[in-house]
A and B are shown apart, each in its own frame.
Chain A
């Protein structure tokens, strides 16, 4: 009985960090006055709100990790450097987002499934 309780306690303790690791979009991803990325991009299933937005490509962790942390940050800061025709706003160059907010977005995108 004692062993079972101990196992349950350990399992519960492990479950907390696991739940904390659930990927959730930061406020700037959703807020119209901030990044509002959700207006153009869809997220993988079970991550954030479901939308039909497709002005920008759907976001996947695999694609983000292929690009790498530096490139993802550069794209958010000023996507026109890589693609002058893009419709994506230059969040860093035009000071729409602070550096810390961009960093949170980068980490979120890299953690996507």
Chain B
């Protein structure tokens, strides 16, 4: 009972946002709340996550910038590997995958669901009768996303919100503000309400900019955004949603839309 099995509590963290608020209104409201919490932090630094709030962490990231190179190299090998039919992952994406990661996740109006970059990779593999990658596996999906997201470094996040997508955004928003698990935390408890404060020794990163620096490189492996969210859920004492689940996809969509306009900076070093 004590650890990670658990209960779903529920009760929304107090939020002034109305349910009918548009995605842009939600984004503006959250950006204003982050600015109010962290008035001295330049918005251009939001993408550094916790490292933006601690000079020592920032130096650690800078000193270990080369840690991503082997992961990105193995991702490139997978990206360009020829399928049995002679095609490759590279051929499934516009411009060979250059400058596309900033547009993910995307809303598929036909399927009425969110398609993450990882799902798009697996759609390509499936279309070419290749074995799908486990979305949580660092050596395959992690490495591939590390590479393709590196091809969009410096690009401004540009997640679109076409007609019909606002329902997915709203589901992501609801999850973000819903208390879960034995510890009764919502994502917003720490990352909005507590943005900039320290949990343990590490500052809590604000939601704006949070999706621009994934995957991160920890212990020489790529950790995807959804893998990190699942770690958070486990810390909360909640049963983590599976990688690629609708819940995590909607949450990623919501968070990514909040970061629109922020420059992508994939594959930073992490040891916290």
Contact = CB atoms under 8 A, between A and B. Distances in A.
Secondary structure at chain A's binding surface: helix, strand, loop or mixed? loop
Interface in B83-127: none
B171 interface: no
Nearest to B200: A39
Interface size class of B (residues with CB under 8 A): 20 to 34
Interface stretch (B72-80, B184-192, B205-213): B184-192
B182 A53 contact: no
Contact of A94 (B13, B184, B190): B184
B239 to A, nearest CB: 14
B271 to A, nearest CB: 17
Nearest to A93: B184
Contacts of A96: 2, 182-183, 237
A85 B198 contact: no
A81 B204 CA distance: 25
Nearest to A94: B182
Interface in A38-74: 38-40, 51-55
B14 A84 contact: yes
B53 to A, nearest CB: 11
B7 A94 contact: yes
Contacts of A54: 197-198
Contacts of B201: 51-53
B164 to A, nearest CB: 33
Contacts of A85: 13-14, 193
A87 B190 contact: yes
Given A51-B201, A52-B201, A95 B1 contact: yes
B194 A55 contact: yes
Interface in B1-58: 1-3, 7, 9, 11, 13-14
Contacts of B193: 85, 87
A113 interface: no
Interface string A66-103: 00000000000000100011010110001110000000
Interface in A1-60: 33-34, 38-40, 51-55
A55 B3 contact: no
A88 to B, nearest CB: 8
Contacts of B204: 55
Contact of A53 (B183, B199, B237): B199
17 contacts: A39-B200, A52-B198, A53-B198, A53-B201, A54-B198, A55-B198, A55-B199, A55-B204, A84-B11, A85-B13, A87-B194, A89-B185, A94-B7, A94-B9, A95-B182, A96-B2, A96-B237
A-B pairs, 8 with minimum CB distance: A87-B189, A89-B183, A55-B197, A39-B200, A85-B14, A55-B194, A94-B182, A53-B198
